[in-house]
């Protein structure tokens, strides 16, 4: 098979949540810093066509790309680490694979053949893996296979990987297997047996890993590494430890120390053109670790049990905190527990309030209480998507005096639908992939706070919603002190609302958190953190 793109597969063993996405992102960062163009792809073994229909409680946040794909949150890590855009091609699910094979079968493309997992599903997986590399001509594609080796649903992916390795030739692909070496406190020992077993499972499926990355809480001795190498048929310098670190942004540095990039390049027959240059990354890390200030931001939402549900927002605060040399403590507040009576007690001490995105009625009153508290007490406020819609409804109720004002998502019969379903959404009945999704341009109002923050008038941001600000109320809002500071010029949709008399009050219909990266912190988050710091230091 002729190819100039090299393929790296990352699999996981022993347990889930070992951080395959972070290891893949860290390796990609190092290869990118060595001068290679790299992208990362995630294969997810579930039957949903995309995670857009998955509850954030189940699977964490749904990440949205520029081209409007609803994807796994690992793509957020890829973009934050690499400072590149990913696309729909970077996230493949079993649901999508089957959908495409079944569509072909219905069209008659298989010409009377029996359609089977092998070869039809595996062929489709291989096509998707290669497409991401060939379409945009990357030097290296890293494909992360979700789930744990040995799972029933991962099998077609492992088989596709086995075939592809055979077809590509050994110098064009590498398999990195991530496992866990647990420390048994009672025995005072690190145990390698789970790793040996998970490599055996891979071998049973016909795949010999080239590199093993071992998650561990204690340093692994040479002796342990050699033992793992001997029992798992890998070079002893290809047994790499990934020790627990305080922040995920330490991992590229650790992987560089362990020479993961050099070993990978060697196995792919690629020259190490230049030593991975990580100056800016280290500068960022230094700021994360040595903050000069500290602020607390309340993150108000209903998906508070699972920290991953607001992953991009919390990472955006790490980036924006570093840019301001400030530690941002994010205090998550369950909006279901928040009301006008306890809001002072729960939010009285914070330096900024963020009301997050979301769907449906549950916990909505707590969000209104948070908005009102921020508005009336001149506390920096950022509303994201539903958070902006809540800010609009709260303003309509308590400033314009429309006590029944609402979004038609919450109350179809409201007399004052200040937030209403978009015209383009009215006829849509299917839930999956049908929202207003992906990047849209937005024009900022001259002299608005947003324009000052972005330092430009034309911006583009990513969306994921069905409802919008109802423009029939625009004038009334403006007269009472809440203005549209950002508009989509083609559709007329309001994208940003501001209260100019307030210290810092911005609601955005889009999701700025999807675009914040280590090297490009998002201006709205840096501006918000700065305003919160200023308030803390002056009031
Ligand atoms: N539920 C709201 C809508 O669909 C907001 C969506 C969101 O916060 N992402 O418009």
Q: How far is the CA of 101 from the centre of ligand 1 (A)?
A: 32
Annotated catalytic residue within 77, 465, 502, 511: 511
Q: Is 385 a catalytic residue?
A: yes
Q: How far is the CA of 299 from the centre of ligand 1 (A)?
A: 17
Asked if omega into 107 is within 30° of 0 (cis), the reply is: no
Residue found by looking up tokens 């928040």 in the block: 338
- Specify whether the CB–CB gap between 132 and 39 falls below 8 A: yes
Contact 530, 324 (CB under 8 A): yes
Distance between CA atoms of residues 141 and 135, nearest Å: 11
**356, 358, 423: residue to mutate for ligand 1 pocket, most atoms within 8 A of CB:** 358
Give nearest CA residue, ligand 1 atom 5: 386
| Ligand 1 site, residue 310, Cβ cutoff 6 A | no
Residue of 354, 464, 507 with the most ligand 1 atoms within 8 Å of its CB, for mutation? 464
Give the burial string for 256-294 (b: 16+ CB within 10 Å, else e).
Answer: bebebbbbbbbbbebeeeeebebeebeebbebbeeeebe
Nearest to 41 by CA among 95, 93, 91, 4: 91
- Mutate which of 301, 355, 361, 389 to test ligand 1's pocket (most atoms within 8 Å of Cβ)? 389
Distance CA(137)–CA(326), nearest Å, equals: 39
Two structure tokens written together for 298? 């309340």
Query: 107 by DSSP, 3-state: which?
Result: helix
DSSP symbols for 222-256: HHHHHHHHHHHT--GGGEEEEE--SSGGGHHHHHH
Ligand 1, closest atom to CA 360? 1
The atom of ligand 1 lying closest to the CA of 387 is 8
Check if 468 has its Cβ closer than 6 Å to any atom of ligand 1.
no
Residue 435 CA to ligand 1 centre (angstroms)? 9
Give the closest residue (by CA) to ligand 1 atom 3: 465
Question: Is the minimum distance from the CB of 358 to ligand 1 under 6 angstroms?
Answer: yes
What is the C-alpha to C-alpha distance for residues 138 and 259, in angstroms, rounded to an integer?
22
Q: What is the pLDDT of residue 3?
A: 60
Confidence (pLDDT) at 272:
84
What is the rounded end-to-end Cα distance, in angstroms, of the chain?
Answer: 67
DSSP tag of 457:
S
Rg (CA), the chain: 25
Tokens standing for residue 284: 């960022």
Positions in the chain whose pLDDT score sits under 70 = 1-3, 539
Q: pTM of this prediction?
A: 0.95
Q: How many CB atoms lie within 10 A of CB 333?
A: 24
483-487/494-498 β-pairing: antiparallel
Contacts of 344 (CB under 8 A, 6+ apart): 373
Q: Answer yes or no: 511 catalytic.
A: yes
Longest C-alpha distance within the chain, in Å?
76
**44 DSSP 8-state letter:** E
61 has catalytic annotation? no
Assigned token pair, 230: 């001997």
Q: What does the alpha-carbon distance between residue 176 and residue 27 come to, in Å, rounded to a whole number?
A: 11
Which DSSP category does 11 fall into? E
372, 308, 304: which is closest to 340 by C-alpha? Answer: 372
The active-site residue, picked from 326, 385, 390, 442, is 385
Q: Is 357 in the pocket of ligand 1 (CB under 6 A)?
A: yes
Residue 419 Cα: closest atom of ligand 1: 10
């Amino acid at each position: 098979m002729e190819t100039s793109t090299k393929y790296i597969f990352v699999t996981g063993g022993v347990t889930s949540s070992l951080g395959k996405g972070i290891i893949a992102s860290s390796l990609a960062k190092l290869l990118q810093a060595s001068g290679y163009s790299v992208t990362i792809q995630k294969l997810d073994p579930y039957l949903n066509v995309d995670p857009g229909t998955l509850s954030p409680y189940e699977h964490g946040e749904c990440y949205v790309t520029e081209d409007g794909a609803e994807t796994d949150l690992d793509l957020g890590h890829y973009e934050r680490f690499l400072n590149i855009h990913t696309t729909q091609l970077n996230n493949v699910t079993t649901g999508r694979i089957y959908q495409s094979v079944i569509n072909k079968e219905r069209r008659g493309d298989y010409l009377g053949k029996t359609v089977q997992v092998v070869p039809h599903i595996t062929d489709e997986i291989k096509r998707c893996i290669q497409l991401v590399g060939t379409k945009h001509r990357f030097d290296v594609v890293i494909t992360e296979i979700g789930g744990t080796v040995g799972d029933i649903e991962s099998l077609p992916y492992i088989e596709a990987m086995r075939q592809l390795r055979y077809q590509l030739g050994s110098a064009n692909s590498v398999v990195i297997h991530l496992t866990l070496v647990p420390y048994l406190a009672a025995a005072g020992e690190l145990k390698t047996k789970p790793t040996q077993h998970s490599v055996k499972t891979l071998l049973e499926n016909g795949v010999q890993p080239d590199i093993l990355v071992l998650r561990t809480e204690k340093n692994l001795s040479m002796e342990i590494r050699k033992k793992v190498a001997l029992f798992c048929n890998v070079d002893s310098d290809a047994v790499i430890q990934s020790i627990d670190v305080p922040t995920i942004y330490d991992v590229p540095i650790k992987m560089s120390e362990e020479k993961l990039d050099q070993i990978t390049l060697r196995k792919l027959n690629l020259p190490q053109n230049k030593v991975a240059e990580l100056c800016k990354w280290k500068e960022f890390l230094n700021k994360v670790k040595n903050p000069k200030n500290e602020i607390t931001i309340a993150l108000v939402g209903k998906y508070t049990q699972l920290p991953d549900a607001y992953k991009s927002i919390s990472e955006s605060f790490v980036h924006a905190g570093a840019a301001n040399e400030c530690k941002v403590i994010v205090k998550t507040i369950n909006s279901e527990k928040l009301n006008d009576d306890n809001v002072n007690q729960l939010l009285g001490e914070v330096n900024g309030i963020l009301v997050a995105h979301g769907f449906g009625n549950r916990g909505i009153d707590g969000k209104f209480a948070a908005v009102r508290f921020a508005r009336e007490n001149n506390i920096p406020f950022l509303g994201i998507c539903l958070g902006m819609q809540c800010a609009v409804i709260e303003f309509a109720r308590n400033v314009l005096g429309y006590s029944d004002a609402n979004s038609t998502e919450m109350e179809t019969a409201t007399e004052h639908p200040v937030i209403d379903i978009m015209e383009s959404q009215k006829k849509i009945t299917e839930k999956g992939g049908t929202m207003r999704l992906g990047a849209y341009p937005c024009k900022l109002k001259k002299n608005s706070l947003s324009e000052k923050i972005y330092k430009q008038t034309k911006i583009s941001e990513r969306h994921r919603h069905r409802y919008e600000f109802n423009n029939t109320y625009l004038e009334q809002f403006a007269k009472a002190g809440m203005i549209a500071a950002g508009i989509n010029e083609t559709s007329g949709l309001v994208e940003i609302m501001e209260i100019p008399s307030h210290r810092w009050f911005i609601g955005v219909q889009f999701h700025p958190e999807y675009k914040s990266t280590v090297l490009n912190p998002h201006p709205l988050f840096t501006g918000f953190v700065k305003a919160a710091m200023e308030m803390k230091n002056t009031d």
